[in-house]
Amino acid sequence: MSHELMNSLTGEILEEDVELTLAELCRTCQVTAERVFQLVEYGVVEPQGYRPEQWRFRGVSVRRIRCAQRLEQDLEVNLAGTALALELLDELTQLRARLQRLED
């Protein structure tokens, strides 16, 4: 991975088309692989690929993991609740975008 890409991984905003390996995602979000496995199991993040060594994560996974961390740390939400909250936030974002398109 290039030095320039590593610098972009430390910021809050990642391009949607950026793909991260499991190791890169762990390093970027400062989580263990076991934690990512849990997040995948609950649907917080969705890897592309069949086996962990083949997994690739899109840039949005970093945002979702960081949001999950905040929900768990700040609000003491468990992992199932975190997954549900993220699903509802996604739905809210989609509905707002749809409403905005209808208003234009």
> How far is residue 12's CA from residue 35's CA, in Å, rounded to a whole number?
20
Cβ(68)–Cβ(44) below 8 Å: yes
Domains of the chain: 3-103 (1.10.1660.10)
Give pLDDT tens digits for 8-48.
444 445 566 789 999 999 999 999 999 999 999 999 999 99
Cβ(56)–Cβ(21) below 8 Å: yes
> How far is residue 11's CA from residue 6's CA, in Å, rounded to a whole number?
9
The percent of residues in the chain predicted with pLDDT above 70, rounded, is 85
pTM, entire model: 0.78
